[in-house]
Amino acid sequence: MSERDSPELPDFSVLKRLARDQLIYLLEQLPGKKDLFIEADLMSPLDRIANVSTLKQHEVDKLYKVEYKPVVSTSDQLCFLIRPRIQTVKWVCDVVNADKAAGKFKRYKIIFTPQKFYACETVLEEQGIFGDVSTDEWAFYLLPLDEDIINLELPEFFRDNFLEGDQRWVRTGGSALHLFHSIYGPFSKVYGIGRCSKMVYESWREQVKEGEQKARQAEVGTVFLIDRDVDFVTPLCSQVVYEGLVDDIFRIKCGCVEFGPDVTSSDKSIKVMLNSQDKVFNEIRNEHFSNVFGFLSQKARNLQTAYDKRRGMDIKQMKTFVSEELKGLKQEHRLLSLHIGASESMMKKKTKQDFQELLKTEHSLLEGFEIRECISFIEEHINRQVSMIESLRLLCLLSLTENGESNQFSNNLNSAWPCQSYGVDHLLTFANLKQLGLLVEQQPGETLTVMESKMGKLVNDKTAGKLTDAFSSLAKKSNFRALSRRLSLVPKSDEEYDLRVPRDMAYIFSGAYIPLSCKLIEQVLERDGWTGLEEVTRLLNGHEFAVTGSNGADLRPQSDAQRIILVMFLGGCTFSEISALRFLGRERGYKFIVLTTAITNSARLIEAMLDNHV
Amino acid sequence: MMKSKADEEDYWNSSKFKAFTFDDEDDEFTKLKESRQAVNSICGLVEEEEDEDEVEKVSWSGEPVGSISWSVRETASSLREQSFPKIDTTPSLPKNSSGYSLSSLFKGKEGEREMMDCADYVSDWSPEETVHRMQQGKAVSLEKFRSLQEKLLLLDEAVGVHDGNVITAVLIYLKKSLSKEVLFRELESRQTALRHFIHYLTESKEQRLLLELYRALGRTEDEALLQYKEHLRITDENKRRDFLKSCVSLPFSPEDAGHVQDHYTLLERQIIIEAETGGKVEIFQKFPRRASILNMPLITTLYYCCFYHYAETEGTYSSPANIRQTFRIAEKQYFVTALAARAKLKAWHDVDALFTSRNWLGFTRKKSPLSFSRVADILSKNNAPVQVLQEYVGLVDDVELRVALAQKYKCHFIVISTYRDLKDRQLLLGYRGKVERGSEEERKIDELLSNPQIRWKN
């Protein structure tokens, strides 16, 4: 397909300003000097939208991190900026009750973000301080991380929704979408797949119905909602595109990464913002890691040449050079050495852990090839007590791609050996992985058919059908192999794949696999709906939808707004998926905006399931 | 999970706000002024609109206020009609149709909202209206839902709108106003509500009630796991051991029951082993322990015993053989661990003995449950000398792999003898350039190359 000019992305800086203004307003609701306690995981998001002088301007005296310890503040006004979590609210209650017992009288305010929950207010009530503490909501839903990434910064969305079955964040998702819609909409098309996506869509629709909407020119016209549990395989794979790899190894936090001494080749660490503002990073972030070295060294040579121009310059030329070019060169120099350092450090780490062999195993699993070898690789990982997260990740990948059928090779793999190597405490972790469907214990296929046929004899057809549905959702079959065939997710391995000139989204996994999530998006956009994908949606357990709005929204498919597509990932997305979408956008003349509840990767996904702690 | 991350900004020390670094450098004073203006305009709005109904319009989740660029309302032409169709979100719906017709667009219940806002009496609100108000964060009173039927209608309504916050709120009310037996019974047929309730009890740490709930539902395995989890709170190892002992009889799945039994046995064993760290034993002085063995996984314990108690007879609790037998450790697993421990100590003799077996004629040979390439890998990671390494590299069956490993670990004689076995003169010649000049390896190559007995294939 021929490349088209991609449309311009809307400006998201307004979202930051909005969030800041709201926070200021809330701070002013507690006039006078006050100390501010901030929940640890809200600090980075706050960093992105405000700074100390903003807070000082509004009479914040001292800043503290919420640490679940007694408070040392001497201020007579305390403000708590927290997530709506029972544990945190209980701590606030302790603080207030301790003050009361000591005969201190202070004013307290809790600002919940992005919203408050009844369960939290119940805690205040139960602890006898309802009324002593005023509460507010800071509707800080959308944090732009980059020109095409907006983050809700709610990593717990994943576990709460998919593991615990708690729908507390559904409305939050709807509200986030609503906020986006009211600024950049109106949307004219919404596609989606997944139970949570449907609920979020409904919540959003209700909120649109309740509110008012100005007639305006849409900047973003198409939306795609997708649940993380539609595709667990993709986030469980090792990332090999630069940005994803940096995230896997150094953990990018809220768009910022901390490079240690091994990268900076000095004795201190530095924090670096990774986004499109960083010119060097912007050129390599979506590249397969194997291309990055070549690119960086070419860049370094160019830089050298640019510096070398100085030689033989006269004073006047030198003056122009210094005033016009030198600063840029120095900046580029700094960035280059940083990313070269990071690449070297990543190479070292990966060589040490036999990355090549690990990737080979992953690719075999995706391809369904040499499974026995894969299993012994995983087995050895476990036996040698190599990183637990890594072992669990591979086990889940095996279970998902083989749909639990690998058990015929080894029935000690799914808990006995991991328990021996990593501790029996992980029984609870295993229960979680099974509950989520990441680990399947026995062949559900057989068990189900037996159940169904038994049931089928007892009840009439209609009920039997319902039962089948219920069972299939229970078993959470992954059907990966069938999906992979139907959507051609695994390119033929006998063909050479040139990673420098990627031909499809598979390049983000070294040409071994096209991410299922992104492939679905591609297919639905291409078909303008789910028509022709019936078998695929059946294999994904349904819950797909495609709806069209009216209201004079711009429906011409060629218009810019229609070619800017908001993809909302419920439960998180990886940098690799974002890279794949950017690639798809370049190929098809779209621009994708990713709205995600959090940036995830395999380690975060598995860590969210760990339950070996109090 | 997120709060106590070790990688959290540690420079962010309480009250030392000077360390508060922000990345946005373009946050200048002008923007601050804009913010101030924006805030002022909000204050105006809020003061005017005190009553609940109006406040809704300035709620930030809805109409965005505060930002100058688009808080201007005059151009607002209200589009109140419902523009997107409702979709069915009932749980068991795998095969719903995808394309929605535009005719379904106007199913909205327009009058309802007005009616509800006018209602003066709290008691007039239907479950539907009540839930709707709760979703918007407005004040409601649930006290009027007194009959069981009303309570359940309210709950079902909350579940129907998929708002977990409201579902939990209703559940908290039901928990206060219904007996446990009735509540549990009703939750059994309401899976979504049940999961919310379980999560709420988990988060608010109402352990006892949660256990009762599981029991009432006959979910014995969940009950057992939850009880077992309690051991994590017990820090004293003896108390923890006793607690684990009491867990053994809980109704786990057969598989888990075995694990929990092992857990108890292991901790019991670890307490004994921990007591044997007497300072007089040489190995503990030579290699001081970095941590206690208590609460470590089984394999770590085995490694520890292979490290500190290798020579002990099978009768002692700390002997590796005893551990291996008690916990039915697979042969391969045992070998990997013992190898790693002895290699770490550079006890090459033990390594040799580990893989040596005698056949009935008294000949010794090397046998291993894990591949010799792995053995070599583990040895090399422990900096084994070439003499030790080459013995195992030489045992790798696959010729290509053997040569590759031999080159990687610089076991030149293995490379040389493999090339000789392959009768590949060219490769051998090529390799001559890679070994040190004047070395024994070079002499060996020269000797082979000049050996007239070998029939080279090239």
A90-118 tens-digit pLDDT: 999 999 999 989 888 899 999 999 999 99
What pLDDT, on a 0 to 100 scale, did the predictor assign at position A163?
A: 95
Domain boundary among A335, A351, A367: A351
Q: What is the mean pLDDT of residues A321-329?
A: 79
Question: A273, B23: Cβ pair inside 8 Å?
Answer: yes
SS3 call for A184: helix
Q: Select the more confidently predicted residue: B434 or B91.
A: B434
Residue B199: pLDDT above 80? yes
A573-604 tens-digit pLDDT: 999 999 999 999 999 989 999 999 999 999 99
> What residues in A contact B80, CB-CB < 8 Å?
209, 212
Instruction: Verify that A381 and A434 share a domain, yes or no.
Output: yes
What pLDDT, on a 0 to 100 scale, did the predictor assign at position B96?
A: 35
**DSSP annotation string for B56-111:** GGG-TTSS--S-HHHH--TT-----S--S------SS-TT---BPPGGGGG---HH
Best of B11, B65, B89 to mutate (most A CBs within 10 Å, chain A): B89
What pLDDT, on a 0 to 100 scale, did the predictor assign at position B24?
A: 37
Within a domain: A327: yes
Q: CA–CA separation, A180 vs B32, rounded Å?
A: 23
Within a domain: B246: no
Domain boundary among B172, B188, B218: B218
Residue A250 backbone dihedrals phi, psi, to 5 degrees: -105, -10
Cβ(B413)–Cβ(B445) under 8 Å?
Answer: no
Closest-CA distance, A215 to chain B, in angstroms, reads: 6
Backbone dihedral region for residue A571 (phi beyond 0: left; psi -120 to 50: alpha; all else: beta):
left
Domain boundary among B155, B183, B218: B218
**Per-residue b or e along A280-295, where b marks 16 or more CB atoms closer than 10 Å to that residue's CB:** bbbbbbbbbbebbeeb
Picking from B291, B288, B293, B306, the residue whose alpha carbon sits closest to that of residue B266 is: B293
Using alpha carbons only, what angle is made at residue B369 by residues B364 and B371, rounded to the nearest 5 degrees? 95
Question: A51, B229: Cβ pair inside 8 Å?
Answer: no
Closest-CA distance, B2 to chain A, in angstroms, reads: 7
Q: CA–CA separation, A216 vs B77, rounded Å?
A: 9
The reply to whether omega before A10 is within 30° of 0 (cis) is no
Where are the strands (E) in A138-294, listed by range? 143-146, 149-151, 189-193, 222-227, 256-259, 270-273
Cβ(B3)–Cβ(A40) under 8 Å?
Answer: yes
Residues 6+ apart with CB under 8 A from A93: A123, A124, A127, A129
Q: Which residue of B has its CA nearest to A257?
A: B7
Residue B54: pLDDT above 50? no
Specify the range with the lowest mean pLDDT, choosing from A384-398, B159-173, B444-458: B444-458
Q: Which residue of B has its CA nearest to A171?
A: B163
Best of B16, B35, B100, B378 to mutate (most A CBs within 10 Å, chain A): B35
Cβ(B93)–Cβ(A542) under 8 Å?
Answer: yes
What pLDDT, on a 0 to 100 scale, did the predictor assign at position A576?
A: 97
Considering only CB atoms, B95 lies closest to which of A538, A553, A613, namely A538
Residues 6+ apart with CB under 8 A from A300: A336, A340
What pLDDT, on a 0 to 100 scale, did the predictor assign at position B30?
A: 39
Q: How many domains does chain A have?
A: 4
Cβ(A190)–Cβ(A547) under 8 Å?
Answer: yes
pLDDT level of residue B3 (50, 70, 90 thresholds): very low
Cβ(A508)–Cβ(A573) under 8 Å?
Answer: no
> What residues in A contact B258, CB-CB < 8 Å?
416
pLDDT level of residue B17 (50, 70, 90 thresholds): very low
Domain boundary among B218, B233, B266: B218
Considering only CB atoms, B167 lies closest to which of A22, A167, A424, namely A167
Residue A202: pLDDT above 90? yes
What pLDDT, on a 0 to 100 scale, did the predictor assign at position A394?
A: 93
Within a domain: A448: no
What percentage of chain A exceeds 90 in pLDDT?
48
> What residues in B contact A203, CB-CB < 8 Å?
161-163
> What residues in A contact B60, CB-CB < 8 Å?
22, 137, 139
Within a domain: A80: yes
Q: How far is CA A423 from CA A3, A28, B260, B301, B386, in A?
A: 53, 50, 11, 11, 36
Q: What is the mean pLDDT of residues A426-434?
A: 90
Specify the range with the lowest mean pLDDT, choosing from A77-91, A108-122, A346-360, B192-206: A346-360
The CA radius of gyration of chain A, in Å to the nearest whole number, is 26
Specify the range with the lowest mean pLDDT, choosing from A270-284, A514-528, B268-282, B307-321: B268-282
What pLDDT, on a 0 to 100 scale, did the predictor assign at position A410?
A: 58
Residue A246: pLDDT above 50? yes
The DSSP element (H or E) to which B243 belongs, if any, is helix B237-247
Residue-number span of the structural domain to which B417 is assigned: 347-457
Q: CA–CA separation, A528 vs A510, rounded Å?
A: 29
What pLDDT, on a 0 to 100 scale, did the predictor assign at position A74?
A: 83
Question: A543, B60: Cβ pair inside 8 Å?
Answer: no
Question: B23, A256: Cβ pair inside 8 Å?
Answer: yes
What pLDDT, on a 0 to 100 scale, did the predictor assign at position B264?
A: 94
A128-158 tens-digit pLDDT: 999 899 999 999 999 999 999 999 999 999 9
Residue B296: pLDDT above 60? yes
Size of interface A-B (CB pairs under 8 A): 337
Cβ(A546)–Cβ(A537) under 8 Å?
Answer: no
Q: Choose the most confident range, by mean pLDDT, from A25-29, A150-154, A444-448.
A: A150-154
Instruction: Verify that A308 and A267 share a domain, yes or no.
Output: yes
Cβ(B446)–Cβ(B458) under 8 Å?
Answer: no
Picking from A278, A282, A308, A307, the residue whose alpha carbon sits closest to that of residue A295 is: A282
Residues 6+ apart with CB under 8 A from B406: B390, B393, B394, B412, B414, B415, B418
Within a domain: B132: yes
What pLDDT, on a 0 to 100 scale, did the predictor assign at position B371?
A: 85
Considering only CB atoms, A421 lies closest to which of B67, B83, B297, namely B297
Within a domain: A502: no
Within a domain: A451: no
What pLDDT, on a 0 to 100 scale, did the predictor assign at position B70?
A: 29
Within a domain: A488: no
Q: CA–CA separation, A419 vs B287, rounded Å?
A: 28
Q: Select the more confidently predicted residue: A86 or A327.
A: A86
Instruction: Verify that A212 and A312 share a domain, yes or no.
Output: no
Q: What is the mean pLDDT of residues A64-89?
A: 90
Question: A547, B87: Cβ pair inside 8 Å?
Answer: yes
Considering only CB atoms, A431 lies closest to which of B38, B167, B225, namely B225
Question: A21, B38: Cβ pair inside 8 Å?
Answer: yes
Considering only CB atoms, B162 lies closest to which of A53, A203, A207, namely A203
Q: How far is CA B77 from CA A65, A175, A215, B56, B208, in A?
A: 45, 22, 6, 18, 56
What pLDDT, on a 0 to 100 scale, did the predictor assign at position A472?
A: 43
Best of B7, B23, B43, B398 to mutate (most A CBs within 10 Å, chain A): B23
Residue B442: pLDDT above 50? yes
> What residues in A contact B69, CB-CB < 8 Å?
14
> What residues in A contact B38, CB-CB < 8 Å?
21, 25
Closest-CA distance, A588 to chain B, in angstroms, reads: 24
**DSSP label at residue A132:** T
Question: A155, B2: Cβ pair inside 8 Å?
Answer: yes
Considering only CB atoms, B172 lies closest to which of A54, A118, A190, namely A118
Question: B163, A203: Cβ pair inside 8 Å?
Answer: yes
Question: A64, B83: Cβ pair inside 8 Å?
Answer: no
Q: How far is CA A381 from CA A238, A263, A413, in A?
A: 16, 28, 11
Picking from B369, B370, B371, the residue whose alpha carbon sits closest to that of residue B396 is: B371
pLDDT level of residue A30 (50, 70, 90 thresholds): confident
Q: Select the more confidently predicted residue: A412 or A197.
A: A197
Q: Choose the most confident range, by mean pLDDT, from A183-187, A474-478, B255-259.
A: B255-259
Q: What is the mean pLDDT of residues A385-392?
A: 90
Residue A473: pLDDT above 70? no
Backbone dihedral region for residue B301 (phi beyond 0: left; psi -120 to 50: alpha; all else: beta):
alpha
Instruction: Verify that A330 and A367 share a domain, yes or no.
Output: no
Instruction: Verify that A89 and A148 share a domain, yes or no.
Output: no
Within a domain: B379: yes
Q: CA–CA separation, A604 vs A155, rounded Å?
A: 9
Within a domain: A487: no
Q: How many domains does chain B have?
A: 2
Amino acid at A352: K
Q: In Å, how far from its chain's centre is CA A63? A: 29
SS3 call for A176: helix
Considering only CB atoms, B89 lies closest to which of A199, A273, A612, namely A199
What pLDDT, on a 0 to 100 scale, did the predictor assign at position B424?
A: 86
Q: CA–CA separation, A120 vs A135, rounded Å?
A: 10
What pLDDT, on a 0 to 100 scale, did the predictor assign at position B279?
A: 58
> What residues in A contact B75, CB-CB < 8 Å?
214
Closest-CA distance, B276 to chain A, in angstroms, reads: 22
Residue B134: pLDDT above 50? yes
Picking from B352, B327, B359, B326, the residue whose alpha carbon sits closest to that of residue B338 is: B352
Residue B82: pLDDT above 80? no
Best of B37, B102, B130, B162 to mutate (most A CBs within 10 Å, chain A): B162
Residue B116: pLDDT above 90? no
Within a domain: A149: yes
Mean pLDDT, chain B, rounded, equals 75
Considering only CB atoms, B69 lies closest to which of A14, A215, A271, namely A14
Picking from A387, A19, A474, the residue whose alpha carbon sits closest to that of residue B24 is: A19
What pLDDT, on a 0 to 100 scale, did the predictor assign at position B42?
A: 37
> What residues in A contact B86, CB-CB < 8 Å?
202, 205
pLDDT level of residue B97 (50, 70, 90 thresholds): very low
Q: Which residue of A has its CA nearest to B46?
A: A25
Rounded to two decimals, the ipTM of the complex is 0.89
Mean pLDDT, chain A, rounded, equals 86
Q: CA–CA separation, A543 vs A473, rounded Å?
A: 11
Within a domain: B179: yes
- H helix intervals, B123-163: 127-135, 148-160
What pLDDT, on a 0 to 100 scale, did the predictor assign at position B445?
A: 86
pLDDT level of residue A240 (50, 70, 90 thresholds): very high
Closest-CA distance, B149 to chain A, in angstroms, reads: 23
Best of A95, A547, A604, A606 to mutate (most B CBs within 10 Å, chain B): A547
Residues 6+ apart with CB under 8 A from B309: B273, B276, B316, B318, B319, B320
Residue-number span of the structural domain to which A189 is assigned: 144-231+515-609
Closest-CA distance, A379 to chain B, in angstroms, reads: 9
Q: Which residue of A has its CA nearest to B230?
A: A614
Instruction: Verify that A323 and A369 share a domain, yes or no.
Output: no
Question: A201, B87: Cβ pair inside 8 Å?
Answer: yes
Residue A586 backbone dihedrals phi, psi, to 5 degrees: -65, -40
Q: Select the more confidently predicted residue: B105 or A390.
A: A390
CATH number assigned to the domain comprising residue A266: 3.90.830.10
Q: What is the dihedral of CA B171, B177, B179, B180, to 10 degrees?
A: 20
Picking from B333, B228, B59, the residue whose alpha carbon sits closest to that of residue A25 is: B59
Three-class DSSP labels, A310-357: CCCCCHHHHHHHHHHHHHHHHHHHHHHHHHHHHHHHHHHHHHHCCHHH
Question: A63, B76: Cβ pair inside 8 Å?
Answer: no
**DSSP label at residue A426:** G
Closest-CA distance, B434 to chain A, in angstroms, reads: 24
Question: A51, B27: Cβ pair inside 8 Å?
Answer: yes
Q: Select the more confidently predicted residue: B95 or B252.
A: B252
B327-379 tens-digit pLDDT: 999 888 999 999 999 999 888 888 888 888 777 777 778 888 888 888 888 89
Question: A52, B17: Cβ pair inside 8 Å?
Answer: yes
B379-396 tens-digit pLDDT: 988 888 888 888 888 888
Q: How far apart are the first and last CA of chain B?
A: 64
